[in-house]
Structure 1
Amino acid sequence: MAAIVLMLLRVILVLVGYTFAAENGSTTRYCELVDSLIPGSVSYADNPVYRESLSSYYSGQESDLRPGCIFSPKSASEVSLFVKIVTSKQNCSISPQFAVRSGGHTIWSGAANIDGGITVDLRAMNTLELSEDKTVAYVGAGGIWSEIYAQLVPYNLTIMGGRVAGIGVGGLATGGGIHYLSRRNGWVCDNVYNYEVVLASGEIVQASAGSYSDLWLALKGGSNNFGIITRIDVPTWPQGLMWGGSIAFNYTHQVLDGQAEAFSDFMKPENFDDAADMGMALIFQNPGNVYAIGNSLYYVEAVENPAVYQPFISIPGQVGRQLVFANASTFPIQAGGTLPPDTRRAIDIVYSFKNGGPDIYSSIFESWENGTKVLAAIEGLQLVLLIQPHPVTNGTNSLGLPPSEKDIVLTVITAAYAHREDDEMVQNEMQSIIDSHVSLLKRHGLYIPFEYLNYADKSQDPIGSYGEEVKCRLQDASRKYDPDGVFQTQVPGGFKLFN
């Protein structure tokens, strides 16, 4: 069937009179062809749809890029036809490069957008359907998690996805994914029953434990290296009201010591509570050179002030508290999902380690604070150190992490600032802070060489951090399902398998 479709496509190419030559603007020609065969799906720079798509990216690094056109499919069949078009090398033309986005929340330039090529914007593919017994949700890959949750509230259900507003389905579910239920149920990708994916051939396949199982496993951490995800099928979870919110503190040594001790105790396996998901943040803000400390506390049961959080709740120096009962759709909206005003540049760098004593956290805090002093003059700078627990994985993924471990910590330093001219200085000092943390953790035998892909910077190698065995398995899956390397060369964005 695929061969027949491709043959018909080639006939159409001839009939509509398109000839391709690199010197005659290959990308433009392909944009025009896609537009002619899938009417109304392509927008150009003079179109409001194009401008809205670019402005909706999380970071300025992504929205600054200017694709030759943006393709906005509404179905897997349209994605399939698109792939067949852009991989059909008519008259020895140069095939266009393209990028794929769902939420567009990854920060670094080129992750889900492209200069001069074609950007595939999946956000129109945002359907949500439930199985008859409402135990399975069928979710379009262009959906936004924070918008999906609200549709499940009437059923007292939720699904596992992003924890802040604006995060898209497809990227999160192929890079890992952390949810309020992740200490209980693992990474989001651990819980994907099925990926509907368009391969480089244009074939639409259903990858699950029982069909294309090697591809299914590869997609659970392998990101955009195998095809374009158009739908995921995931379990629903009973979820009524949950409890949570935030506490803000003055930045004092007493509070820092209290946070170090409380978080170290929280991460001890003997204190594990699978209903608890949290984050501890140190924040520096310029102008004003303001420091603050905050805890985001979430508990998926309807329990107020649960015992596991008492060490945090009892820390003195609180300047604000918002801890409430709400449904699972409320908290991502409260958390927000945009950069601070006038700070369109951003960088994330991530690392992982085994829990240590309070002194480890105190040293991490001190190193971060020293770094803020170096960067204090950067206009609009917000530098955040976020420390949180890893999901407790069940091992159904390609992340290379041991299952059932409860004391692994995930740390990300995020910088937001105003001007691209400051990119290099911010990047270098952030890396200096990270290097000092990693050195400390290695000295104490706590460092884990796992880099969470959805938080990783372009300078990092998250897929390599899964380990050689896993990476080789992912490369084998790429060769099997994408033998011509379409998603390695025509899709240059994201973390590639053969770099």
Structure 2
Amino acid sequence: MSAEYGWAANQVLEYTLVLANASILKVTRDNYPDIFTALTAGGNNFGIVTSYLLQVYPQGEVWGGNLVFNATPETTSSLLAALRDFTENYPDEKAGIIMTSERTLGTLVNIWILFLYYNGPEPPPGVFDKFLAVGPNINSCKTQSMADLVEGNNWAIVKGSVYTIGTETTPVPSEEHGAEVLGSYYDHWVNVSNSAAFVTGVIASIAFQPLPKSIARAAKAKGGDLIDLDTEKDLLVIELDYSFSFNSDYEKIDQTMRDTYEGLRTRVQRFQEQGKLEKGVYLPLFMNDCFYPQDYFGRLRPEGKALAGRVTEELDPNGVWRDRTGGFKL
């Protein structure tokens, strides 16, 4: 689902699924279409997937790396404007970006880190120009193998920390309202994360991940999935992360995370009421980024939630997975 994978993303063709009664199904889109759809973004409500068959694509050299900026007000404003424009106009289907702001609250580090990716040895002129024009302090982008690109991001891993992750989804604002809307999201995150400033080792992150309608169309062309994104709407997935040193601080960070994504949701709805974001837009949550209390299934289309419910009743009528495992439940 994330744009950073470009159009070289692998596609599942078959699942091997162990059911609660210990029987085994080979599930394809043709032989069990509802089960296949439910498994494709439905989580662990239906059984244990022990293997899956992928359609893979050749992957040659790619271009990418990181841009790093000091998060001054001027830089933040310019990057958010470039992000809005990139998502709405999506200049190249082989291009992807994740734009992350990082704040290490104890040491007052405040930066933007952009992950850029192009599925080819070099992007054509113009694809990432608006981000580059802001003037990064560090630019590690180059032509390399996919393995080297992914390994090159290991520097951001903070070993030995406790991590929490949450999410929200927003329509892409118009150019007229982009600065106000995206700036409000960013300022809210800053203000809420400040409340955790005295938690030992805390690092707060907000990542904006473009989800243009061209990605939804590509997913639909491949057969679709349970999320069933709108093929006519541009969205932004907002990923929220807090890492910190000690489990004893989890209760504080738990509340901080809830305050962060709930506040973002409130702002999306308020801007819709004010006419600054389009009303009635389908805004599902990206399961990979959901915090445990978030209502993943409640944010699906009603028909998608109903399909997942039917499959659950068919495959696990006694509620083995519902009662004995974690994860998001119907």
TM-score range, shorter chain: 0.7 to 0.9
Asked if 1:233 corresponds to 2:36, the answer is no
Contact 2:3 2:97 in 1 (8 A): no
Aligned positions of 1:304-453 closer than 5 A:
304=123, 306-316=125-135, 318-336=136-154, 339-343=157-161, 345-356=162-173, 357-390=178-211, 392-393=215-216, 394-395=219-220, 396-402=224-230, 404-405=231-232, 407-445=234-272, 446=277, 448-453=282-287
Q: Distance in 2 between matches of 1:423 and 1:326?
A: 39
Q: Distance in 2 between matches of 1:338 and 1:180?
A: 16
Correspondent of 1:460 among 281, 294, 303: 294
Report the count of equivalent residues.
312
TM-score (norm 2): 0.88
SS of structure 2 residue aligned to 1:424 = helix
Mean CA deviation greater in 253-262 or 329-338:
329-338
Q: Distance in 2 between matches of 1:304 and 1:265?
A: 17
Residue type of the alignment partner of 1:314: A
Q: Distance in 2 between matches of 1:390 and 1:334?
A: 24
Q: Distance in 2 between matches of 1:337 and 1:321?
A: 15
Q: Distance in 2 between matches of 1:238 and 1:471?
A: 35
User: Cα RMSD between the aligned structures?
Assistant: 2.1
Tell me which residue corresponds to 1:298. Answer: 117
Taking every aligned residue pair, what percent have the same amino acid on both sides?
Answer: 23
Moved over 6 A (4+): none
Tell me which residue corresponds to 1:47. Answer: none
SS of structure 1 residue aligned to 2:141 = strand
Correspondent of 1:485 among 295, 319, 327: 319
Contact 1:286 1:379 in 2 (8 A): no
Shift of 1:330: 2.1
1:323-342: per-residue Cα shift (whole Å, max 9, x none)? Answer: 01112222222222984144
Residue type of the alignment partner of 1:355: V
Shift of 1:314: 0.9
SS of structure 1 residue aligned to 2:260 = helix
* Closer, same or farther: CA 339–294 of 1 in aligned 2, 3 Å: closer
SS of structure 2 residue aligned to 1:193 = strand
SS of structure 1 residue aligned to 2:41 = coil
Q: Distance in 2 between matches of 1:406 and 1:335?
A: 30
Q: Distance in 2 between matches of 1:448 and 1:285?
A: 34
* Closer, same or farther: CA 337–217 of 1 in aligned 2, 3 Å: farther
TM-score (norm 1): 0.59
Aligned positions of 1:96-115 closer than 5 A:
none
Correspondent of 2:310 among 476, 480, 488: 476
1:362-388: per-residue Cα shift (whole Å, max 9, x none)? Answer: 121211222232221111000001001
SS of structure 1 residue aligned to 2:53 = strand
Q: Distance in 2 between matches of 1:307 and 1:241?
A: 20
Q: Distance in 2 between matches of 1:232 and 1:482?
A: 20
Tell me which residue corresponds to 1:178. Answer: 2
Q: Distance in 2 between matches of 1:451 and 1:462?
A: 6
Q: Distance in 1 between matches of 2:316 and 2:156?
A: 35
Tell me which residue corresponds to 2:85. Answer: 265
Unaligned runs of 5+ in 2: none
Shift of 1:261: 1.0
Contact 1:260 1:359 in 2 (8 A): no
SS of structure 1 residue aligned to 2:239 = strand
Shift of 1:444: 2.1
SS of structure 1 residue aligned to 2:180 = helix
Asked if 1:287 corresponds to 2:106, the answer is yes
SS of structure 2 residue aligned to 1:484 = coil
Contact 1:342 1:418 in 2 (8 A): yes
Q: Distance in 2 between matches of 1:336 and 1:262?
A: 26
SS of structure 2 residue aligned to 1:384 = strand
Of structures 1 and 2, the one scoring higher in RCO (CA 8 A, sep 6+) is 2
Aligned positions of 1:46-85 closer than 5 A:
none
Tell me which residue corresponds to 1:215. Answer: 35
Shift of 1:304: 4.3
Q: Distance in 1 between matches of 2:124 and 2:140?
A: 12
SS of structure 2 residue aligned to 1:225 = coil
Q: Distance in 2 between matches of 1:331 and 1:405?
A: 32
Unaligned runs of 5+ in 1: 1-176
Contact 1:353 1:448 in 2 (8 A): no
Q: Distance in 1 between matches of 2:82 and 2:22?
A: 52
Residue type of the alignment partner of 1:351: E
Residue type of the alignment partner of 1:486: V
1:13-70: per-residue Cα shift (whole Å, max 9, x none)? Answer: xxxxxxxxxxxxxxxxxxxxxxxxxxxxxxxxxxxxxxxxxxxxxxxxxxxxxxxxxx
Instruction: Flag the structure with larger Rg.
Output: 1
Residue type of the alignment partner of 2:250: D
Q: Distance in 1 between matches of 2:26 and 2:151?
A: 32
Residue type of the alignment partner of 1:313: L
